[in-house]
Amino acid sequence: MSKTKWIPKDMEWFLADMIQELKVAGAEDSTVWINTHLIRASSPDEAYEKALNRGKLYEDSWTNTSGEQVVSQFRGLRDLLLVYEKLEDGAEIMWEEQEDVSEQSIQEMIKPRAQLGAIEAHGAKRGKASTGGSNHVN
């Protein structure tokens, strides 16, 4: 199966997954964050360069509240994706393809409302329009 190399003439936005490593002095393992940034560029090459330059902003060190030295380092890009649609409410900005997926695997992909990233991390409350239950599709 060959990948399509269609790129819209009016490309404007990219998503850059940036790998940021946080390492406490003396610790064996690191904490890694994957930060996704919106990059405005007129070509994949320009987006790549802009993403790398933005990644340099992660280079820092400080003393944490426990008195330990912490070093933050930009390690590189995990991915750089073109946003094919204009940014507006409902625009598709990412997609992923998985083949030969069972019904059980599909059900396992679907998270209840409380486990969705924006809800879990920010404590969003249900509005009056909510019908309750999970976000499973039957």
Tokens of 43: 């070509």
For the chain, give the longest Cα–Cα distance: 54
Q: What pTM, to 2 d.p., does this model score?
A: 0.71
Whether the per-residue pLDDT at 134 is higher than 80: the answer is: no
What band does 123 get if pLDDT is binned at 50, 70 and 90? confident
Q: Are 10 and 80 within 8 A, CB to CB?
A: no
Residue 73 within a domain: yes
The mean per-residue pLDDT over the stretch 101-108 comes to 92
Residue 68 within a domain: yes
Alpha-carbon Rg for the chain, nearest whole angstrom, is 20
**Domains in the chain, number:** 1
Query: What percentage of the chain reaches a pLDDT higher than 90?
Result: 57
Report which of 20, 48, 49, 22 is spatially closest to residue 35, judged by C-alpha positions. 20
Quote the domain boundaries for residue 28. Answer: 13-86
pLDDT at site 95: 78
d(CA 46, CA 40): 9
